[in-house]
Amino acid sequence: MEELTELLKRSDLFCGLAEEDIRRLIAIGRWATYNADEVIIREGDPSDELYIIQKGMVEVVVPHGTVPDIPGPPEATPVVRLGEGQIFGEMGLVDRGSRSATVRAVTDGTTVFILPRDAFYALCDQSHTIGYTVMRNIARDLSFKLRHRNLRVVAGW
């Protein structure tokens, strides 16, 4: 638990939270471990959880043609690899839309901490500070990603 607490304290998503609040988040989550090439989330599935990589690496894959000018096989295009401390599935805490990408483990023993949306919302009802801080950080992250993507399109990258 101490290792996860330290990992989450360093995470941009939980920046600004007290250690006690991070421990409350840990109490509502669960662990899962995946082997290389195992799908963690699949594009099109319901999104109701956020994932934090504790160990290993994952690859985010989108349907071919959804990212301009990135070559790839006809069925999917790898976009990015994520490692320790990084998050994915964050839109699952924001809305009830379907997954926008597939994420699969790259290495055997990839371990993720999973934060379910409904339990997170219940915790936010108890502590508005947790909810405000995490949602502010998600908004900042999504804004950065959107701005970066728009700059790539405008610049012709």
- What are 51-62's pLDDT values in tens digits? 999 999 999 998
Q: Supply the CATH number for residue 151's domain.
A: 2.60.120.10
What pTM did the predictor assign?
Answer: 0.81
Q: Which domain holds residue 28?
A: 2-155
Number of domains in the chain: 1
Closest by CA position to 53, among listed 27, 79, 85, 23: 85
The mean per-residue pLDDT over the stretch 137-141 comes to 87
Sign of CA dihedral 30, 93, 107, 37: positive
CA–CA separation, 11 and 66 (whole Å) = 28
Name the more confident of 59 and 141: 59
Average pLDDT over residues 30-48: 95
Across residues 95-110, what is the average pLDDT?
Answer: 92
pLDDT in tens, 60-101: 998 755 544 444 445 667 788 999 988 899 888 888 888 988
